[in-house]
Amino acid sequence: MYEKVGVGTDLRAEQARAESDESAARAELDRLSNKVRTRAEQLLQSPDGSDGPSRQAAAARAEELVQLLETRMSGASEQLGRLRGEAERLAPEGGGAHTELPEELVPRDAEHAQALLRTATAELASRDEALSQAREAHAELLQAHRGAEDAASGFDEIAAMLRDLLREHAAEEEQEEPEPYPGSPDEARQAAAEARRSLRGCAADLSAAESAVREASDILVRHANSTRYEQVRTPARQQIRELPASALPEHAQKWADAFAPRLRVLTDELEQLERNRDSIVDRLRGLVESALATLRSAQRLSRLPEGLGEWSGQEFLRIRFEEPDQATLTERLGEVIDEATRAAVRKNSDLRRDGMSLLLRGVAAALQPKGVAVEILKPDAVLRAERVPVGQMGDVFSGGQLLTAAIALYCTMAALRSNDRGRDKHRHAGTLFLDNPIGRANATYLLELQRAVADALGVQLLYTTGLFDTTALAEFPLVIRLRNDADLRAGLKYISVEEHLRPGLPQQDPAEEAHSEITATRMFKRPAAASG
């Protein structure tokens, strides 16, 4: 406890000393003038007054400076004494003057002398200043003269360099008053270098432009001399053909102005033709797509009925092709239309342009490059599911097989036509009269196959033959024998029923007059399942 009280006493004593020192320092500070205080504040704000060591170092330097100034003042006092002694020594002997002054400059008294001295001193200073300015102006003029000479030589060099490039146009430039270049020679040299680069680029562009003009002129002349325009008798075409190539650019604008209205008319006509072409292509595309759908329907409708062995449920026709997308199809059909159009204007062209020919070429173009592959079942005794390309039928099929395949193809086409007309289940697709098919296809399996395919596709087959092949005729449910009767007087022939079959036909009363009669009938009854 006592130790703490002792420490506090020491601190108070130290505080008292510090306060005493502060009071002494403040009293000393108050004795100083405001100028000294202001200068002290400036020094304290300088880097030399930032801290104690800096202030001590600055004070030491100030002491040294004071000593230096005192030394210089002492030397100056000594020099002043020497100068005064020398002035006294140099004063004129006998109290005269070194020079004679004009009367108006002779001083009357000391004050007048001081005034004259001040005037002379001022005039001397003025003359010294004027001399100094004249010397400076002379030096500047000399420097400007040397700079002008250097610039002139530089500009001469640059001008010579540019004149070499513009030698062809020197006469034109001499007619114009040249303007001074505002920049320095370095700037002029840089500008000249850029101008040379630009001129070389312009020369290259000019050469390319002239080459392009010559090429365009050659193209124009070749275009005008084309055989396509032999019938064109316009004056412009004659001028283009007769004028030299170098003179064509001069008339280009005039021709362009003259052709502009015609170009607009032709452009409108071409746009109209393009719209018509697009309409034709769209119509042809619809027909081609319908034809391709017909091919797919033909394969589907050629499906055979049951009871034919391996052929049961098989498609008699197999048609394979790759259908293109809409964009490709449109492009290919456009080429077909364009080819037909070119053929129309060509002389001695044998390209047919009727609707069916265009449709067939459109389908062929749509199926490029692979085309269409068609395979057909080969009729044989055991009805194996063997398919043969249609292009090989003539080499692989016999006569009877060819006839059977032809009948099956006809029935398929008839069923396809019936399907397009909306007939119910393709029944009653039509009647097919055959002229003596038994002479080529008398095999039982061929006749059965023909009748089975025709029955499945709704086609009624009527066979005519002069052969008495009982094995073949036994396959038919109804046989009517006919004969040809000739009228020698009228030169006509009639088909009539054989006499030995007439008793079995309905008899007519001789008393009744009849203009015609039915001698044989066959009734078809719709199956019960199909009637609903």
Q: What is the pLDDT of residue 165?
A: 65
CA distances from 50 to 29, 32, 41, 57 (A): 19, 21, 11, 11
Angle at 508 between CA 507 and CA 511, to 5 degrees: 145
Tell which wins on pLDDT, 316 or 120: 120
Please say whether the beta carbons of 316 and 295 come within 8 A. no
Angle at 188 between CA 182 and CA 191, to 5 degrees: 115
Provide the phi-psi class of 422: left if phi over 0, else alpha when psi is between -120 and 50, else beta. Answer: left
Residue 527: pLDDT band (50, 70, 90) is low
> Which burial class, exposed, middle or buried, applies to 66 when counting CB atoms under 10 A from its CB (0-12, 13-18, 19+)?
exposed
Q: Judge whether residue 96 has pLDDT over 70.
A: no
Rounded to whole angstroms, the Cα distance separating 207 from 209 reads 5
Rounded to whole angstroms, the Cα distance separating 154 from 197 reads 19
- Residue 463, classed as helix, strand or coil, is strand
Please say whether the beta carbons of 403 and 393 come within 8 A. no
Tell which wins on pLDDT, 279 or 298: 279
How far apart, in Å, do the first and last CA atoms of the chain sit?
133
Out of 100-104, 165-169, 305-309, the most confident range is: 100-104
Q: What is the pLDDT of residue 44?
A: 76
Rounded to whole angstroms, the Cα distance separating 90 from 96 reads 12
Q: What is the pLDDT of residue 166?
A: 61
φ/ψ (deg, to 5) at 107: -70, 140
Tell which wins on pLDDT, 255 or 526: 255
Residue 375: CB atoms within 10 A of its CB come to: 19
Average pLDDT, integer, range 59-76? 89
Residue 170: pLDDT band (50, 70, 90) is very low
Q: What is the pLDDT of residue 511?
A: 60
Out of 77-81, 145-149, 277-281, 453-457, the most confident range is: 77-81
Q: Judge whether residue 476 has pLDDT over 80.
A: no
Q: Judge whether residue 65 has pLDDT over 80.
A: yes
Q: What is the pLDDT of residue 74?
A: 92
Residue 71: pLDDT band (50, 70, 90) is very high
List b or e across 146-175, with b for residues whose CB sees 16 or more CB atoms inside 10 angstroms.
eeeeebeeebeebbeebeeeeeeeeeeeee
Average pLDDT, integer, range 313-341? 80
Average pLDDT, integer, range 279-297? 83
Q: Judge whether residue 150 has pLDDT over 70.
A: yes
Average pLDDT, integer, range 442-462? 76
Q: Judge whether residue 13 has pLDDT over 70.
A: yes
Q: Judge whether residue 479 has pLDDT over 80.
A: no
Q: What is the pLDDT of residue 422?
A: 61
| Tens of pLDDT, residues 99-148 | 777 877 777 887 887 888 888 888 888 989 999 999 999 998 988 888 88
Q: Judge whether residue 234 has pLDDT over 50.
A: yes
Q: Judge whether residue 426 has pLDDT over 60.
A: no
Rounded to whole angstroms, the Cα distance separating 241 from 193 reads 45
Average pLDDT, integer, range 33-52? 78
Please say whether the beta carbons of 190 and 154 come within 8 A. no
Please say whether the beta carbons of 387 and 318 come within 8 A. yes
Place of tokens 């004494």: 81
Please say whether the beta carbons of 242 and 295 come within 8 A. no
| Tens of pLDDT, residues 340-351 | 777 777 666 667
Rounded to whole angstroms, the Cα distance separating 413 from 94 reads 163
| Tens of pLDDT, residues 354-413 | 778 888 888 888 878 887 788 877 777 767 777 888 777 777 777 777 887 788 777 777
> For residue 184, what are its two tokens?
């320095």
Q: What is the pLDDT of residue 493?
A: 74
Q: Judge whether residue 517 has pLDDT over 60.
A: no
Peptide bond into 369 cis (omega under 30): yes
Please say whether the beta carbons of 123 and 115 come within 8 A. no
